Amino acid sequence: MSTANWDLDPSMESTAIVQLQPKYDLFIGGCWQKPKSGKYFATYNPADESVLSEIAYGNQDDVNLAVEAARKAYNEVWSKMSGAERGKYLFRIARIMQEKSRELAVLETLDGGKPIRESRDIDIPLACNHFFYYAGWADKLAEAFPGQKPTALGVAGQITPWNFPLLMLAWKIAPALACGNTVVLKPAETTSLTALKFAEICEQAQLPAGVVNIVTGHGDTGAALVANQDLDKIAFTGSTAVGKLIHKACIGTSKKLTLELGGKSANIILEDAPIDQAVEGIINAIFFNQGHVCCAGSRLFVQESIASKVIEKLKFRLQSIYVGNPLDKNTDIGAVNSKKQLETIEKYIALGLEEGAEIFQPTCNLPSKGYYCKPTLFTDVAQSARIAQEEIFGPVLTIQTFRTLEEVVQKANNSPYGLAAGVWTVNGARIFGLSQQLKAGVVWANTYNKFDPTSPFGGYKESGFGREGGRHGLSAYLQFKN
C-alpha cells in the first residue's frame, strides 16, 4: 500500500489478542453501570473507518454518581490505608498492565491510529513505568517533602485527550492514587477503549471499589465533571480553548487545577550540529504519532548557512517514509485520529498555500479508506503566518531560517505557547545558553520527544500550568500543612 522509494512486504501485527466487547458501560463504584440517558456512541478505527465498539455516553447524573462513589471510597477506604498498602495496589496494576502490554498496544493502535511500533515501544511501556515509578513514592511522601506534612487532596476529576490515551491516563491516575486521592476520569471520546481496559485491570487487581471510576462521553460529559461541586481537584490535558473554559469554571471554587494545553514548539538547528542526526531528530519531533503531540517540534529554525542542505536532506528522507496501515510494523506515519482532525489539518495546509509558503510533500500513495495525511513541509514561511503561529496538531512542519542566536531566541519565544523546544549543536555552552533563554517547559538537546516518569513535564504561557511527572507531579495531588 505504501509509498516510498522501495517496497517492503507488509508485516502486520495480529489483532487476535484484543478482546473487545460490543458495548461498554460506565465503570462506577467498582461496577459496570448503564448510562442514565440510555445513550451509547460508536468508537471507530481511523485506519479503515470501521466501528470497534459502542461506548456509554455519560451525563451529569452519571458523573455525580461517580464522584459520590469516589468520595465514599476516599472516606471509607483509601484515605485510611497506609502508603505502603496503596503502593502495593499500584505495583499490582503496573504488573498487570505489563502482562497485557501487547493487547493494550494493539488496542491503542486500533482505536487511535498510531503506528504499532509507537504504541508497542513508547506508549504502553511508558504508561507501565509511570505506575511503577509512582508506586514507589506512595510510602515515601513525607521524605519527598520533608517537614511539610503532605496529605491527599481528596477526589480528583481528570480529563484526557486522544493523542496518548493510556499514557495520559497513567500521568493522571498514578500520582493521584499514590498520594492517596481517588479519581473520576473522563477519557477522550475517540479513544476510550484502553481506559475501559484499564478499568478491567483495576478489577483484576482488586482495587477497592470507587478508587478509580471511568466515565466515558463527549465534551459535555467533561464539562459535567468540571461542574460537579464535590471535587477537590481538576486535572485537564487538551486544547487551550477548552482549558480556558475549565479555568473559568473553576474560578471561585476550592478546586485545585492543573492544565496541560497546546504547543507550537521550536526545534533549532545550529550550523555546527551533526546534520544527519539532526535531520532524523527533526523527523521524529514532528512526524512521530502523525504530529498529534502537544510538544511536537512543529516550527523548525535552521541557521541560514546550512538551511539549503538541511531542507534537501529532509525532503530526501521524507521520500522514504512509510505512510499507511498503523498495524503494519513498517509504518512510520499511521492514521490521523479522526475525520474532524484530518479536516483541520487539511484546512491549515490550504491556508499555508494561501499565505504564500512553499509546500513539499513526498510522492507516496495514501490508503483509499481511513484518515491519512502526507507529511508536509512548508518553506518561505513568514514569522507572522498563521501556520507558524497556530497549533495544527498534524504532520506539518514550518521551516524558517535565522542568522544569530539572539534572532532565533526572539523568533522561538514569539509564540503564545511555551511547552517544549529542541536545540541541536555540538557546543555545550550554546545548549546551556539557549535552554536558559527559551521560554519552554522542556528543552531537549540533540534529541527530541524523550520522556521518562522521573522528569517533570508542563508548559509556560498558554501551554498551561502545573507539572506532571517526577516529584513535581506528586505536589499537584497533595496539600501541605506547613
Q: Which chain residues interact with Mn ion by CB under 5 A?
A: 43-44, 111, 190
CB atoms within 10 A of CB 80: 10
Given CA atoms 250, 470, 122, 365 in this order, what sign does their dihedral have? positive
Half-sphere exposure of 151 (CA within 13 A, CB side): 9
CB of 294 to ligand NAD, least distance (A): 3
Residue 364 is among the residues annotated as catalytic for this protein: no
| Cα angle 274-424-359, degrees, rounded to a multiple of 5 | 90
Interface with ligand NAD (CB under 6 A), residue from 186, 247, 256, 467: 186
Nearer to Mn ion, 119 or 400 (CB): 119
Which residue shows C-alpha cell 453501570?
33
Closest CA to 373 of 332, 342, 398: 342
Query: Could you tell me how far CA 82 lies from the centroid of its own chain?
Result: 31
Site residues (CB under 6 A) for ligand NAD, limited to 78-117: none
How far the first Cα of the chain sits from its last, in Å, is: 62
Judged by CB under 6 A, does residue 195 bind ligand NAD?
A: no
β partners of residue 85: none
CB of 457 to ligand NAD, least distance (A): 7
Alpha helix stretches (DSSP H) within 390-452: 405-413, 428-437
Residue 260 is among the residues annotated as catalytic for this protein: yes
Judged by CB under 6 A, does residue 261 bind ligand NAD?
A: yes
Give how far Cα 330 sits from Cα of 281, 322, 452, Å.
Answer: 19, 7, 25
Judged by CB under 6 A, does residue 161 bind ligand NAD?
A: yes
- What residues contact residue 262 under an 8 Å CB cut-off, 6+ apart? 239, 240, 294, 391, 393, 417, 419, 462, 463
Binding mask 379-418 for ligand NAD (x = CB under 6 A): ------------x-x-------------------------
Nearer to ligand NAD, 259 or 307 (CB): 259
Number of residues that bind ligand NAD (CB under 6 A): 29
Contact at 8 Å (CB) between 144 and 150?
A: yes
3-state SS, residue 333: strand
Interface with ligand NAD (CB under 6 A), residue from 116, 177, 185, 188: 188
Tell me the window of 71-79, 157-165, 277-285, 379-387 that interacts with ligand NAD (CB under 6 A). Answer: 157-165
Active-site option among 202, 294, 295, 364: 294
Tell me the window of 186-194, 279-287, 320-328, 366-374 that interacts with ligand NAD (CB under 6 A). Answer: 186-194
Rounded to the nearest 5 percent, the helix, strand and coil shares of the chain are: 40, 20, 40
Nearer to ligand NAD, 58 or 326 (CB): 58
Please choose which of ligand NAD, Mn ion, none residue 245 contacts, taking the beta carbon within 5 to 8 angstroms, the exact cut-off set by kind. Answer: ligand NAD
Interface with ligand NAD (CB under 6 A), residue from 169, 174, 283, 294: 294
Interface with ligand NAD (CB under 6 A), residue from 36, 88, 140, 218: 218
Give the residue numbers annotated as catalytic, written as ranges: 260, 294
Q: Which residues bind ligand NAD (CB under 6 A)?
A: 159-163, 186, 188-189, 218-219, 222-223, 226, 237-239, 242, 245-246, 260-263, 294, 391, 393, 419, 459, 464
